[in-house]
């Protein structure tokens, strides 16, 4: 059974850097084809894809946020970390991490999600 | 970036109704479109991938179709547990993008 859980601060001040950790079990990020992504959702708004890291350390970022985002993995700890610099109140959102399964017979996107972590940006 | 639009934004329906939601892409995504269900305060749940493939464990009343730029999600007979928000997502090219969502109430 795959589980993911986001952790990090619930409140950050404007201009600060946000660091979120996704701790997972039930799969390994050393398995070929596996990925872990980050998605956010401002209150009452749509989902927004942020970043994705693969087993081979291939990284993909949202172009609109690329200058502010860094995604890394620690395979031995079963963790993926997302950092976002220069936080602004508009970044207030629930941040989710999610598992991208390996391509076996067909490509699937995110099949398992964490419960989400609400991050509020306010002074 | 590929933009996704959904219609309607809100849909009022009753148990037993056949419900159809449309997702349109600003350019072709081939068949690489997924549908998620999200309930208030919960994470999205994958329902459909590759436009029409049913995720394991998802009831067969959820039917996906389409190719290229136009896709539909149909719930053949709406059940009480189906009142939620439904979002499409393209994973044909980066950056992956989501639609704005359709609330079924």
Residues 6+ apart with CB under 8 A from B38: B44, B45, B84, B85, B86, B87, B101
DSSP secondary structure code for residue A26 in this structure: S
What pLDDT, on a 0 to 100 scale, did the predictor assign at position B23?
Answer: 98
Q: Taking CA A26 as the corner, what is the angle to CA A6 and CA A39, rounded to the nearest 5 degrees?
A: 35
Cβ atoms of A123 and A16 closer than 8 Å: no
Cβ separation of B94 and A60 shorter than 8 Å?
yes
Percent residues over pLDDT 70 in chain A: 100
Percent residues over pLDDT 70 in chain B: 100
- How many C-beta atoms lie closer than 10 Å to residue A30's C-beta? 12
- The mean per-residue pLDDT over the stretch A96-116 comes to 93
- The mean per-residue pLDDT over the stretch A3-11 comes to 98
Residues of B in contact with A43 (CB under 8 A): none
pLDDT in tens, B19-33: 999 999 999 999 999
pLDDT in tens, B55-65: 999 999 999 99
Tell me if chain B has a CB within 8 Å of the CB of A104.
Answer: no
Q: Who among A39, A61, A109 is closest to B49 (CB)? A: A109
> How far, rounded to the nearest angstrom, does the alpha carbon of residue A81 sit from its chain's CA centroid?
7
pLDDT in tens, B31-42: 999 999 999 999
In chain B, whose CA is at the least distance from the CA of A44?
Answer: B40
Residues of B in contact with A111 (CB under 8 A): 46, 49, 55
pLDDT in tens, A23-74: 999 999 999 999 999 999 999 999 999 999 999 999 999 999 999 999 999 9
Residues of A in contact with B32 (CB under 8 A): 107
Cβ separation of A106 and B101 shorter than 8 Å?
no
Whether the predicted pLDDT of A105 surpasses 90: no
Q: How confident is the model at residue A104 (pLDDT cuts 50, 70, 90)?
A: confident
Q: Would you list the DSSP string of chain B?
A: ---EEEE-SEE---TT--EEEEEEESS--TT-EEEEEE-TTS--EEEEETTTEEPTT--TTEEEEEETTEEEEEESS--GGG-SEEEEEE-SSSSPEE---EEE-
């Amino acid at each position: 059974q795959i589980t993911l859980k986001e952790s990090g601060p619930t409140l950050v001040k404007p201009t600060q850097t946000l660091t979120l950790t996704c701790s997972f079990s039930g799969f390994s990020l050393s398995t070929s084809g596996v990925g872990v992504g980050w998605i956010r959702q401002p209150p009452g708004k749509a989902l927004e894809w942020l970043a994705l890291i693969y087993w081979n350390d291939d990284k993909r970022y949202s172009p609109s946020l690329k200058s502010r985002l860094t995604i890394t993995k620690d395979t031995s700890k079963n963790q993926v970390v997302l950092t976002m610099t220069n936080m602004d109140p508009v970044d207030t959102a629930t941040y989710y991490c999610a598992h991208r399964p390996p391509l076996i017979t067909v490509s699937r996107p995110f099949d398992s999600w964490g419960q989400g972590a609400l991050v509020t940006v306010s002074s | 970036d590929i933009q996704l639009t959904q219609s309607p934004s809100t849909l009022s329906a009753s148990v037993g109704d056949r419900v159809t939601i449309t997702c349109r892409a600003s350019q072709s995504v081939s068949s690489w479109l997924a549908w998620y269900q999200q309930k208030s305060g919960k994470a999205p749940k994958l329902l459909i991938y590759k436009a029409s493939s049913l995720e394991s464990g998802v009831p067969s009343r959820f039917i996906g179709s389409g190719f290229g730029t136009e896709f539909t999600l149909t719930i053949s007979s709406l059940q009480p547990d189906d009142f939620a928000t439904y979002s499409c997502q393209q994973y044909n090219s980066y950056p992956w993008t989501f639609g704005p969502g359709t609330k079924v109430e």
